[in-house]
Amino acid sequence: MNGYRLIAASATLLVSAWSPAWTAEKPAAAIVPADFTTVIDNPFFKMPEARTTYFRSQTADGLETGEILVTGATRTFMGVKTLVIRDRVFLNGKLLEDTQDYFAQHKNGDVWYFGEDVDNYKNGKLVDHDGTWHAGIDGAEPGIVMLAHPMPGDVYREEYLAGVAEDMAKVLSVNETVTIPLGTFSKCLKTENWTPLEPGVKELKYYCKQADGLVLERDPQSGERNVLVKIEDCD
């Protein structure tokens, strides 16, 4: 999931404020399309139309940059109209990944993730579409990428297609202070993210209301940081 990419460890418990009975063994409850909107205004995950956010990370392979654009386009899955987010990642200036993510907000404020189309590149050439999944197709299930009222200890599944997309998240704190080039933000949300497909690998994410969402991703093992460097709104 790129600007929303996750790396991971393993878990079986899933907790959702909307559907407590939904576990990793039991798919999401019946989706009611009328309960969703493409207006995404969760304070930890706002997606205003025409906004682009820019991220930067110095990795072992070089400088990685990301551009996340709220396109305003829509696509429907399981009867739910979702908002299309284009997420591009570049390594040393060359396109590495070009993804379209599909989000919708439930009436209770949870932001749901309904799939992604992934184009992976190497040396400027398209090589595959690994990581692509669509909710409601081939056993894929939607997940939650942001709870309406996250609390420490909440655990939830962000996406599900067996063997392809099994990202999980756990809320660690809602009172973090984060300093990045854009400023210092307080009362931020901190999550731990992982997938059973990559045992032992974890990532920490920080979301701040003052910046409308994700500001930092950190690998606790390597120390690599993917940092928000710019927010651009177009009229």
Decide if pLDDT at 14 tops 60: no
16 touches 86 (CB < 8 A):
no
Residue 16 pLDDT exceeds 80: no
- Predicted pLDDT of residue 234: 86
The sign of the dihedral angle between the CA atoms of 190, 194, 199, 201 is negative
Specify the CATH number for the domain of residue 9.
2.40.360
Q: Which range marks the domain in which residue 172 is found?
A: 2-233
Instruction: Give me the mean pLDDT over the 116-133 stretch.
Output: 96
* Domains of the chain: total: 1
Provide the pLDDT confidence category of residue 109 given band limits of 50, 70 and 90: very high
pTM, whole model, 2 decimals?
0.88
Instruction: Show the tokens assigned to 188.
Output: 């931020």
Q: Write the DSSP string, 169-215.
A: EEEEEEEEEEEETTEEEEEEEEEEEE-TTSTT--EEEEEEGGGTEEE
